[in-house]
Structure 1
Amino acid sequence: MKGIYRILIALVFLIAAIASYSMGIQSGVFLFIILGLVLEGAFWFGMFSAKRRNEA
């Protein structure tokens, strides 16, 4: 179940990044493009985060 939530959150970040890029291009507001970059970074770091192992 934990994996499903991780995938859903990553997809939300990706959709929000695409929407932000789209709004930034249409309106010409550079802040939306920066927001898109931040959201896309959150998507990629969420997808490929390092798994930690507990070693005793």
Structure 2
Amino acid sequence: MKAIYRILIALVLLASAIASYSKGIQSGVFLFIILGLVLEGAFWFGLFPIKRRKGT
């Protein structure tokens, strides 16, 4: 069940980033482009999480 939520959240983030880019380009509002970058970054960092080593 956890994998389904991860996939669903990733798809929502990607769709939101694409919609934000589209709105920013159409309206010329740079804030939407920044929001798209943030959402896309959240998508990629969520897709490939940073793995930390346990113990040394």
* TM more than 0.5: yes
Q: Distance in 2 between matches of 1:5 and 1:32?
A: 26
Give the Å deviation of 1:50: 3.1
- Show structure 2 runs of 5+ residues with no match: none
Shift in CA distance, 6/52, structure 1 to aligned 2, threshold 3 Å: farther
Q: Distance in 1 between matches of 2:53 and 2:19?
A: 36
Q: Distance in 1 between matches of 2:10 and 2:53?
A: 22
Identity of aligned residues (%): 82
Q: May I ask how many residue pairs the two structures share in their alignment? A: 55
- Show structure 1 runs of 5+ residues with no match: none
Give the Å deviation of 1:51: 4.7
> CA deviation digits over 1:5-50, x for unaligned, max 9?
0010010000000000000000000000000000000000010013
* Partner SS for 2:50: coil
Equivalent position amino acid for 1:24 in 2: G
Shift in CA distance, 5/39, structure 1 to aligned 2, threshold 3 Å: same
Q: Give the aligned partner of residue 33 of structure 2.
A: 33
